[in-house]
Amino acid sequence: MATDEEQFLQDYTPGEYPPVALAVDLVVFAVTESTLYAAFVRRGGHPFKGALALPGGFVGADEDALAAARRELEEETGLELGGHRAHIEQLATYSSPQRDPRMRVVSVAHLALLPTDGRALPVLNPGTDSAAAHWLPVYEVLAGETLAFDHGEILTAALERLAGKIEYTLTAARLLPGEFTLYQLRRVYQAVWNTGRLDAGNFTRKMTGALQDTGRKAIGDKGAPAALFTVREEYLSPPMIRPAANS
């Protein structure tokens, strides 16, 4: 004889409730030449055909949101996060009934930080669902582009998450190789905060307590040897003070 719960599940009719599809969207940040970039695609089909969008898509029946995010990113841009020591975390859930004109779609947005040496970005290759894939400067996109769906809102939220976290943590180092110079780290801060200059002496005083000197040197942009550091403490105390944009 079936238990009460088993009988309840046998009699349960999911079709009595409105259908809701689950999707993922990704904001993938990387820094080069003191500029913050994100990965974007040009949509190859409707809706919003030809519009700039964040990589993403629907979650498969046998996937969780994180697995779908990794798969969709690789399918749409050719970027495989596991091969780049990337950091990825959930950003927020977007559930406005009007966010997708096709049907009710709830999206779990993810923030990914891709480490680079600050000189070059990985090549992106568009997949079957996208007409093109690009790295584009974040602040330029926010100032001059209308993104598909609610992707402008998602991008703004991801930027604010990152810009806020680097005030009190060493999250900025996730955008660099495991060993980095203070110059490289300062350029990441300048890129994320969209500020032209941070005082080098003050920056060094703020950072050195949270960093570990490896004892190794790198050749700087001007040929002078520069100390290489790793992260020793996750949190900054006292925190950095974010300057006004473009200061």
The whole-angstrom separation of Cα 8 and Cα 93 is 30
- Is 70 exceeded by the pLDDT of residue 222? no
| Location of each CATH 3.90.79.10 domain in the chain | 19-152
Instruction: Answer for the pair 209, 238: CB distance below 8 angstroms, yes or no.
Output: no
Q: Which CATH class is domain 169-231?
A: mainly alpha
DSSP H/E element including 140: helix 138-144
Give me the mean pLDDT over the 193-203 stretch. Answer: 91
DSSP H/E element including 30: strand 21-32
- Is 80 exceeded by the pLDDT of residue 1? no
Please report the pLDDT score of residue 229 as a whole number: 97
Please report the pLDDT score of residue 114 as a whole number: 97
Helix, strand, or coil (residue 42): strand
Q: Say whether the peptide bond before residue 238 is cis (omega within 30 degrees of 0).
A: yes
β partners of residue 88: 112
- Is 60 exceeded by the pLDDT of residue 246? no
Instruction: Answer for the pair 110, 92: CB distance below 8 angstroms, yes or no.
Output: no
pLDDT tier, 22 (very low <50, low <70, confident <90, very high otherwise)? very high
DSSP code, position 76: H
Q: Among the listed ranges 1-5, 16-20, 49-53, 56-60, which one has the minimum average pLDDT value?
A: 1-5
Q: Which fold has domain 19-152?
A: Nucleoside Triphosphate Pyrophosphohydrolase (3.90.79)
- Angle CA 171–162–244, to nearest 5: 110
Give me the mean pLDDT over the 26-39 stretch. Answer: 96
**Which tens digit of pLDDT belongs to each residue from 89-135?**
999 999 999 999 999 999 999 999 999 988 899 999 888 778 899 99
Tokens of 129: 């669902």
Please report the pLDDT score of residue 247 as a whole number: 47
Please report the pLDDT score of residue 223 as a whole number: 65
pLDDT tier, 196 (very low <50, low <70, confident <90, very high otherwise)? confident
| Location of each CATH 1.10.10.10 domain in the chain | 169-231
pLDDT tier, 220 (very low <50, low <70, confident <90, very high otherwise)? low
Sorted by sequence, the CB contacts under 8 Å of residue 12 that are 6+ apart come out as: none
pTM of structure: 0.92
Please report the pLDDT score of residue 244 as a whole number: 74
Q: What is the mean pLDDT of the chain?
A: 92
Please report the pLDDT score of residue 9 as a whole number: 86
Does residue 246 or residue 35 have the better pLDDT? Answer: 35
